[in-house]
Amino acid sequence: MITISGLNAGYGGSEILTDVHAEFPTGKISVIIGPNGCGKSTTIRSILRLVPEAKGEISLDGVSLDTLTQKELARKIAYLPQSRQVGDIEVQRMVMHGRFPYLGYPRKYRKEDYEKVAQALEWMELTDLAHRNMQNLSGGQRQKVYLALALAQDTEVILMDEPTTYLDIRNQLELLERAKRLAESGKTIIMILHDFEETLHYADHVVLMSGGKVMTSGTAEEVLRSPKMTEAFQVTPRFYRAEDGLHCYIVP
């Protein structure tokens, strides 16, 4: 479990997060929702020590992340950023970099590293694209490569910052299904989503943020039905129950 307590963070002297407390259970999909600029990405980036002005306590299974070296942290937590520059690099080579936290000096790959990369490519059904250049792939294929990179990193936790942005609906659902299977295999997934219906369907645990603070947390239904939702988003989600379960929609 990742536990955040008393986290204050910001950039260039301006504070974005104020006294954030949150818990993300092991082997579950936790989704952070909230309006733009409320500090969702800053929270995720703080877990990885990517925000220099972050103060507070963040721990993984009771061990403070501050006590870990950069490489130790990378062996425990993988990260899919919201956007990144598309490198002039082959898919297989890109996924090999997921093994970087395990390399000594000089940087020689071991048999185990090749095996982990092969498994990650196979799991993401990328074996046929292994020798394609990243710049020649579609957005959906690239996102699969980034997830394969995170899998090759072989971590307990995967953080995903808006992983479905820029993806068409089929690719969004495919990515979320894979995230669900990863959680079922024991990995802790923390992701930022904007879609309430997807949140309701895939999240085991939801954290609602607004104005740099955690407003509430709980199961998806509890949070989405909470009056805090209207306070945070200025809209009220509506619900209906169908044969396949509860659904959520917004009326403008």
Q: Interface residues with other proteins (CB under 8 A)? A: 45, 48-50, 70-75, 77-79, 81, 84-85, 87-90, 92-94, 97-98, 100-101, 103, 105-107, 114-115, 117-118, 121, 130-131, 153
- Closest approach of Cβ 149 to other proteins, in Å? 8
- Closest approach of Cβ 87 to other proteins, in Å? 6
Closer to other proteins by CB, 88 or 244: give it: 88
Closer to other proteins by CB, 146 or 196: give it: 146
- Closest approach of Cβ 134 to other proteins, in Å? 9
Closer to other proteins by CB, 72 or 177: give it: 72
Q: 3-state SS of the chain?
A: CEEEEEEEEEECCEEEEEEEEEEECCCCEEEEECCCCCCHHHHHHHHCCCCCCCEEEEEECCEEHHHCCHHHHHHHEEEECCCCCCCCCEHHHHHHHHHHHHCCCCCCCCHHHHHHHHHHHHHCCCHHHCCCEHHHCCHHHHHHHHHHHHHHCCCCEEEECCCCCCCCHHHHHHHHHHHHHHHHCCCEEEEECCCHHHHHHHCCEEEEEECCEEEEEECHHHHHCCHHHHHHHCCCCEEEEECCEEEEECCC
- Closest approach of Cβ 42 to other proteins, in Å? 12
Closer to other proteins by CB, 60 or 208: give it: 60
